[in-house]
Amino acid sequence: MKASVPRPLVRSFADLSPQRFDRARPLVTLFSGGLDSSYLLHRLTTAGFTDIHAVSVDLGAGEDMDELRLVTDQLGVGLHVVDGRTRFAEEYVRPAIAAQAVYLGTHPISSSLSRPLIAELAMDVADGLGASGVLHTANRSQNTLRRLNGAFRLLGYGGQYGTPYDLDPVDREEKARELESIGLVHMSKRIASIDANLWCREFESGILDDPEEHTVPEHLYAWSVRGEGTPEEGVEIGFEAGVPVLVNGVRLPLRMLVEHLNHRVGAHGIGRYSGLEHLPGGRKVMELREMPAAEILLKTYRHLETATLDAETIREKMHLEQVWVREALEGRWFGELRRASQCFIDSCAARVTGTVRWRLRQGSAETRSIVAPSPLYVRHREDWERESIREDG
C-alpha cells in the first residue's frame, strides 16, 4: 500500500498535528515582528516544535533588528534576516512603475509586489535547512493569503505551506494577552497592522477596520509628515528606457532613488492614499498607505509616456495595465498572463526616456517641464500648423 502524500496547504492549527509535521524537523515561518507572526511562533513552541526558523525579509522598511531578536530570543527561535532590497526594487518596483500599477485608480499596489519575493526567499531558506514547510500568518481578511499561497504554488514548492489563521482566526486582544503573559509586553501596544517596504507603508486592521471611520493616527506616518515651514522646492526626475535613474541630475540606483524621494517628496505631505480592496467573494476591506515616491514616479512616468508613445499604443497599454495589476493582486505574479503582459509593457518602456521637473509645495506637485529626446509633442503650435499645411499640400 502506497504511503499517503501529505496535503501541502496548511489552513488551521489542527493542520500542524504530529501526523503532518515532525516536531524535530526544521520549520520555517515568515516573521515581521508583528503581533500575528510573533503569536504564531509562540503557538509553535508550545506545540512542541523544537527547530523553528523565523525568516524576516528586509525590503527597506527599516525594521528594528533588536525588536525582532527580542521576540525570537524570548521564544528560543532562530532568526534569519534576508536582504531583498535591491531585488525588490529592480525586479518588482521597476516593472510596477512601467505598468502604472494602481488598483482601480485609487492607490498604487504594494503587498502584491512584495509577497512573491518574500515567498521565493523563504523557500530558499527552507530548502537550505531541509525544512518540512513554510508558514505565514495572513488572515482570511488579508489579500496576502492568496498572494503568498499563489506564489508557493506557482513556484512549485515541494514542502507544506499556508497559514493556520485561515480557518482558525485569533482576535488581536487574545494574541496580545498571551504574548504579554510570556514577557512580550510591547505587543499590547499594537493598535493597527503595519506592512512596510521601500515602496509603501500600509496600515490596516485594529482601529482602522471601519471604512466609515478610519482616521490614521498621525504618529503612524513616517515619510509624509508635513514639516512646518517646509519651503517650496523643485525636483527633476529623469528616466532612461522606462527606469528612473536621476534626481536633479544625480544618478542613483533605483533602491536609493526611491528611498530619497520618499523623504524628499513626503516632506511636502504628498503621497497618502486610502482605498477599498476586494477580498475573494467580493467583499471589500479598507487599506491606508503612504507612498510619496510612488506618487511622483508614477506621474512622471505617465507624462514621459505620453510624450514619447503614440496615443493608441497608450490606450492599449492602459487596458493591459489592469490585466497586469489583476494578476499580481490575485497571487499570480509568476503566472503566464502577468509575464505576457509584462512583455508588451517592457516594449513600450524602451522608448520612455526624458525628464520631468516638478514644483513641490504643501500637499501638491505641479509640473514645470517635460522633456524627451525623441518627443511626439509640439513645442510651437503655429509653426506646426504651417508645417502640416505644407505637408498636406
- Assessment of whether the complete model's pTM goes beyond 0.85: yes
Q: What is the pLDDT of residue 230?
A: 86
Per-residue pLDDT band at 281 (split at 50, 70, 90):
confident
List of E strands, 31-88: 52-58, 78-83
Q: What is the pLDDT of residue 206?
A: 78
Mapping DSSP to helix (H, G, I), strand (E, B) and coil, where does residue 5 land?
A: coil
Evaluate if residue 23 carries a pLDDT over 70. Answer: yes
Q: What is the pLDDT of residue 376?
A: 96
Q: What is the pLDDT of residue 72?
A: 95
What helix, strand, coil percent values describe the chain, rounded to 5? 40, 20, 35
- The amino acid at residue 8 is P
Evaluate if residue 178 carries a pLDDT over 50. Answer: yes
Domains of the chain: 9-83+111-191 (3.40.50.620), 201-371 (3.90.1260.10)
**Which whole-number Å values give the CA distances from 238 to 68, 244, 252, in the listed order?**
37, 6, 10
Q: Per-residue pLDDT averaged across 220-237, rounded?
A: 90
Q: What is the pLDDT of residue 92?
A: 98
Q: Per-residue pLDDT averaged across 71-89, rounded?
A: 96
Q: What is the pLDDT of residue 212?
A: 93
Q: Are 293 and 258 in contact (CB under 8 A)?
A: yes
Evaluate if residue 252 carries a pLDDT over 70. Answer: yes
Strand 201-204 relative to strand 284-290, pairing: antiparallel
Q: What is the pLDDT of residue 66?
A: 87
Evaluate if residue 6 carries a pLDDT over 70. Answer: no
Average pLDDT of the residues of the chain: 93
Closest CA to 38 of 137, 150, 149: 137
Evaluate if residue 60 carries a pLDDT over 80. Answer: yes
Give the lowest-confidence range in 225-229, 273-277, 372-376, 377-381. 225-229
Give the lowest-confidence range in 127-141, 191-205, 300-314, 334-348. 191-205
Per-residue pLDDT band at 188 (split at 50, 70, 90):
low
The edge-to-edge listing of strands for the beta sheet with 27-30 is 9-10, 160-162, 133-135, 27-30, 52-58, 78-83
Q: Which residue is associated with the grid cell 496548511?
A: 10
Q: What is the pLDDT of residue 5?
A: 46
Beta-carbon contacts of 57 under 8 Å, excluding residues fewer than 6 positions away, are 30, 81, 82, 84, 117, 118, 121, 122
DSSP structural state of residue 250: E
Q: What is the pLDDT of residue 349?
A: 98
